[in-house]
Structure 1
Amino acid sequence: MPALSTGSGNYSGLHELLCALPSQLQPHVHSQDDSTFLHNMFGERSLHSLVKIHERLQHYEEHSPAPILDSAGSLAADLSEELQGKSASEEISELLNLLAKPHVKSLLSVHDTVAQKSYDPELPPLPDDIDDDEVSVKIIRLVKNKEPLGATIKRDEHTGAILIARIMRGGAADRSGLIHVGDVLREVNGVPVDDKKPDEIIHILSQSQGAITFKLIPAIKEETPSKEPKMFVKTLFDYDPAEDKAIPCKEAGLAFKRGDILQIMSQDDANWWQAKQDGHANPRAGLIPSKQFQERRFALRRPAASVLQPQKISNRRSYDTAVEFAPLEAEEIEEDDGWFYGSGFYLSGYHVAGFRRSFRLSRRDKKTNKSMYECKKSEQYDMADVATYEEVTPHRRQSGAKHRLVVLVGPTGVGLNELKRKLLISDPQHFSVTVPHTSRPKRNQENEGVEYHFISKNIFETDIHNNKFIEHGEYKGNYYGTSLDSVRSVLSKNKVCLLDVQPHTIKHLRTAEFKPYVVFVKPPPVERLRESRRNAKVIPGKDDKGSAKSFSEEDFLEMVSTAQQMESQHGHLFEKIIVNDDLTAAFTELKVALKKVETDTHWVPISWTHS
């Protein structure tokens, strides 16, 4: 704001101008509201205080005050000694008491320290032997503390010069704005580095304390900071730079665990991105392998034999990633539809199998059944087998919006059915399950849309061809399946749809439409399983309670082994993991998690909100 001059030419301060503005602007104001607004704005006490501070600082700068002396402490001591010999008076006694107080002595000591110190920046003198024809150099001094400088160096293969290889975003070097990628390092603290290896230079830097002086030849074209948009990714694998032989600088690496959220700070290097942990106070970025680089490495590490062939499926009832399941287990099914059962928990000492679940086929009667597991294909998910990073964004369910699909995953016997049952009982108006489809004829006691949706075999096969089923199978000549429309039907009623599927089916549900929240229910260790399921019984079907059998040791081992395999192969898709050691505790944990899904902000794939 320009100064306001009076007739005498004297400077009138901003505070005086501020007080005079309302009256000077009054003739130009035609509205009472505008007049009230101006008076309130220019009469604001905080604004007046800020202007007064501005004037005081301006006055301070104009007069450039300097300390009169830098030995006030010694002067006070001399004065005290001189006064000791004088005749005692009330004033002298009071002054001596004041000068003897510790906080007064400290104040004078601080004054002397400040007065004796120069705060003007000091640059090192330019070398005397600079040739007029020498290339331009820049001399930079950075103060080193416990924080790394945040830059890496390398030797140019052709010239042998030591170059600044990369600047870590948010680090000390980056914040200074003085060092750039491509700068040639000539000296560190006056020590030439032309004949030294990068490791030797790093050692010099590590031994240096306080200010470090760099002599650099600027890059031909200094890079301008790239204005990349904020990008966040969810990590789908564990990474430790200390164990990575390919990383350019282990000390600059950023370690993370699967499921961490990283902010990508730079993708300038095709192989090594710069990232930092979301929410961490440390502003310096670290190196992580880029998505493309890590995908190539994972692909090279994967042996060809890791793709399981149908003929190699074990006779054990174990989880498998191949497209074929073992045949149905006759002891766990009813006449023709009980194969929807068989993965419950226990209630009052008995295994409860009261809810239809995903199409889980087992190991027995292979000669009589040749059922195959099938589901629709997803080209988009092909690369998910090489899980690296997934770009994510914060998402919060808006009031009135459809609920997210809740997908429950776990090995047979872990208790998925019982958890679903408890959720349905706790709030039947809020939670619901899907109604499966079948091609078998309707029985007398059955109702359309209650036990099943009954459709013809031709229509079922057409729907299979049109990828309308999440998963489906065939048993004794009849088709059974869970359709996408059955999920949509539940969600359209503003209810939470509880869906129990095989883990490799999740990939087909991960769409913006369903936004699935995946909960993995895993068993406790075998020792705890033996104790907690000691009196539990497996009920083969709802009409066969007399043939209930106990869990076997093989069941326990298989449950734990299957859970480990599920988590290893599909853990990057799980958003919540619950150990079902105690059913009541597991249910409470699940209920709390599902409540947070509806109220809190979660990280979801960016495609779910930008589709």
Structure 2
Amino acid sequence: LPMLVDRSWAKLLYKLLSSMMSGTEPHTDREEDYRFLHSMLMEKKLHLLFKVNARLCCNDLVPLIINIRPRSSSLFQLAEELIYQGWREEVKELLALISKPHFQSLLHVHDAVAQRDFEPVLPPIPDDALEDEEDSVKIVSLVKTKEPLGATIKRDTSTGAIVVARIMRGGAADKSGLIHEGDELKEVNGVSLEHRKPKEILPLLVSLTCFLCSVAYIRFKIIPAYSREEMSTTKQKLFVRALFDYDPNQDPSIPCKDAALAFKRGDVLQIVSMEDDTWWQACHLEDSNGGAGLIPSKELHERSFSFTTKQMVLQWTGLRRSFRLGRKSSWAKEAARFRRWSAGVHSSICPPTYIKVIPYHREPKDRHRVVILVGPSGVGVNELKRRLLISDPDRYGVTVPHTTREKRRQESEGVDYHFVSVHMFEELILSHRFIEYGSYRGHYYGTSLDSVHRVMAEGKVCLLDAHPSKIKRVYTSEFKPYVVFVKPPRIEELRLTRRRAKFVCDEEDTNQVRIFSEADFEDMIDLAENMERQYGHLFDKVIVNGDIASAFRELRSDLEKIQEARVQWVPTEWSCSSPTKARRSCSHLPSWI
């Protein structure tokens, strides 16, 4: 290669070798040496080498060859030069190969790595950027990749200016720390935003995107919002469990669907900002290090629920005439059902949207959490509990209830019931030792806390079924109940799956059974709706029992996951060990929000 650089020396060498080839006459004293030299100079390969050297020297390609190593993209220039000089078809194929976008991107990456150019370079700020502007104006340059910028804008109704409405936590704007809520945007990439609508600004944010590296260089001219309140420096994290499903695509009130966060009931979310009264910022538990998204606040969800309720009332009111024109039986049935529904809505509190939770790290020595199954009568709670007990009697156990009636011949003490006197039963009532109790045909029946302790002491999962209004005695950190709400399916599916099913209507006489009626189906659905509306904040899991086999498999799988999980999320109020301490340390943390 050094020989090729010095062209005059290369030409001189070529002429010298040519003269030697013509002057190699055989001599008698050294004939053998001359023959060897002549044969070597006549080799075809040596002649081709001379021609390549001459072509390179004449066509001024030496600088390209030297620059191949420090900059691989010079291959493209070299191939073009070779084609211009009339080289063979293989070179054209080479040119087509290195002209492909993927190969050029590879060369671009190679050059960047060779030059250790790993970070994007911001465009220089012009010297006259701040001329004729007030001192409060600042220039912010950001590098935007494929991820969203993480900010929403709006028009100020009083001034007409474009201002930053919110900064999404974890986004590019938030990470830069240079743009804040309330800042007024004057220019984007040198384009004035005066008299522009927010939807017209989006195309400006992608105008400087590089097609190879998908990086956009965005320069803002901003008037800072000095009057804004400084963000809180507290590092306390707030986690909540969602008590409803949310799909931004089905919400017409969301300001930006791309900035929203979808979630399902039971998902644990980390709230990162509650500064906006209508739209909070949150992220999923498994994506706590990523960007945040918008979710409806508690107040917004309550207003939406109230609006939906009013719409349903108005719709029903408008249909009353059509019911009256129909059969009287249909009118009476629908009117009775609406009265039950309306009474349940207006007698209940606003439905909770999120419940504050904290992580519970279960140790191997800790007792299992109590599992409580709740649901309306006839939905299948007892059958699910029975199947769980039969499937694994070493893992699951049930309590033995107390009663004041006489023991029957086939019954055993401590197996079927704990038979106690009326006086002892009433003493247990006064000492608050019952989870729930009642009287039937002059006898007391009840489930005691002591019977739950016995099952837990055996190392088993205690299965309870109770009305949600009666579980407050075990809704504590001592038992850490996992509440499963068994919900009926739609009435059409109830008619198909329960049309031949029978249930016991008198627990004292097992022969008194009957088939479900249409009224039973309607009552079951109404009771389930009232339960979920009033006590939905207590439910950890909701299972729709359309098919008993499918519902049982879902329940068993969910309970196995809970028992094997080392970290579980429980209500914040359980962190308080005593009522006194609860009033003192948890008064500012409501159990649900």
- Confirm or deny that 1:469 pairs with 2:476: no
- Confirm or deny that 1:167 pairs with 2:146: no
8 Å Cα contact 2:149-2:172 kept in structure 1: yes
Pairs within 5 Å for 1:387-426 = 387-395=352-360, 397-426=362-391
For 2:4, the equivalent position in structure 1 comes to none
How far off is 1:150 after superposition? 1.9
Structure 1 CA distance, aligned partners of 2:508 and 2:227? Answer: 81
8 Å Cα contact 1:468-1:484 kept in structure 2: yes
SS of 1:279's equivalent?
Answer: helix
For 1:232, the equivalent position in structure 2 comes to 239
Pairs within 5 Å for 1:482-561 = 482-539=447-504, 544=509, 547-561=512-526
Q: Which amino acid aligns with 2:169?
A: R
8 Å Cα contact 2:434-2:447 kept in structure 1: yes
SS of 1:283's equivalent?
Answer: coil
8 Å Cα contact 1:490-1:497 kept in structure 2: yes
Counterparts in 2 of 1:508 and 1:247: CA distance versus 1, 3 Å: farther
Structure with more of its chain in helix, by fraction: 2
Structure 2 CA distance, aligned partners of 1:179 and 1:458? Answer: 72
Query: How many residue pairs get matched?
Result: 466
8 Å Cα contact 2:82-2:91 kept in structure 1: no
Deviation track 1:163-219 (CA, whole Å, cap 9, x = no partner) reads 4343110122112332123433222233334x536xx13422345423432101334
For 1:451, the equivalent position in structure 2 comes to 416
Counterparts in 2 of 1:283 and 1:111: CA distance versus 1, 3 Å: closer
- Confirm or deny that 1:603 pairs with 2:569: yes
8 Å Cα contact 1:396-1:599 kept in structure 2: no
Structure 1 CA distance, aligned partners of 2:286 and 2:389? Answer: 37
- Confirm or deny that 1:74 pairs with 2:80: no
8 Å Cα contact 1:237-1:572 kept in structure 2: no
Counterparts in 2 of 1:559 and 1:388: CA distance versus 1, 3 Å: closer
SS of 1:402's equivalent?
Answer: coil
Q: Which amino acid aligns with 1:216?
A: I
8 Å Cα contact 1:299-1:386 kept in structure 2: no
The normalised TM-score by structure 2 is: 0.64
Deviation track 1:400-425 (CA, whole Å, cap 9, x = no partner) reads 32111111122322332233223333
8 Å Cα contact 2:352-2:536 kept in structure 1: no
Structure 2 CA distance, aligned partners of 1:320 and 1:506? Answer: 24
Counterparts in 2 of 1:161 and 1:465: CA distance versus 1, 3 Å: farther
Structure 2 CA distance, aligned partners of 1:186 and 1:138? Answer: 10
Structure 1: gaps spanning 5 or more residues: 1-64, 86-92, 307-313, 324-381
Deviation track 1:309-363 (CA, whole Å, cap 9, x = no partner) reads xxxxx999x999999xxxxxxxxxxxxxxxxxxxxxxxxxxxxxxxxxxxxxxxx
Structure 2: gaps spanning 5 or more residues: 1-67, 210-216, 314-334, 578-593
For 2:38, the equivalent position in structure 1 comes to none
1:204 paired residue among 193, 196, 201: 201
- Confirm or deny that 1:218 pairs with 2:224: yes
The normalised TM-score by structure 1 is: 0.62
8 Å Cα contact 1:72-1:108 kept in structure 2: no
Structure 1 CA distance, aligned partners of 2:364 and 2:225? Answer: 54
For 2:191, the equivalent position in structure 1 comes to 191
Deviation track 1:498-551 (CA, whole Å, cap 9, x = no partner) reads 111113334553321112122233344445544544544444567745554333
8 Å Cα contact 1:99-1:105 kept in structure 2: no
Bigger mean CA offset, 399-408 vs 258-267: 258-267
Among all aligned residue pairs of Structure 1 and Structure 2, give the percentage whose two residues are the same amino acid: 49
Counterparts in 2 of 1:225 and 1:125: CA distance versus 1, 3 Å: farther
For 1:121, the equivalent position in structure 2 comes to 122
Deviation track 1:272-312 (CA, whole Å, cap 9, x = no partner) reads 43112333599332233444675688789989xx9xxxxxx
Structure 1 CA distance, aligned partners of 2:263 and 2:157? Answer: 32
Structure 1 CA distance, aligned partners of 2:250 and 2:496? Answer: 40
8 Å Cα contact 1:439-1:454 kept in structure 2: yes
Structure 2 CA distance, aligned partners of 1:121 and 1:270? Answer: 36
Counterparts in 2 of 1:320 and 1:402: CA distance versus 1, 3 Å: farther
Structure 2 CA distance, aligned partners of 1:68 and 1:586? Answer: 65
SS of 1:511's equivalent?
Answer: coil
Structure 2 CA distance, aligned partners of 1:286 and 1:276? Answer: 6
Deviation track 1:53-92 (CA, whole Å, cap 9, x = no partner) reads xxxxxxxxxxxx995797543334434654859xxxxxxx
Bigger mean CA offset, 215-224 vs 173-182: 215-224
Counterparts in 2 of 1:477 and 1:425: CA distance versus 1, 3 Å: same
Counterparts in 2 of 1:606 and 1:301: CA distance versus 1, 3 Å: same
Q: Which amino acid aligns with 1:405?
A: V
8 Å Cα contact 2:376-2:527 kept in structure 1: yes
Q: Which amino acid aligns with 1:215?
A: K
How far off is 1:157 after superposition? 7.1
Q: Which amino acid aligns with 2:150?
A: G
For 1:575, the equivalent position in structure 2 comes to 540
Structure 1 CA distance, aligned partners of 2:71 and 2:489? Answer: 76
Larger Rg: 2
Structure 1 CA distance, aligned partners of 2:108 and 2:375? Answer: 72
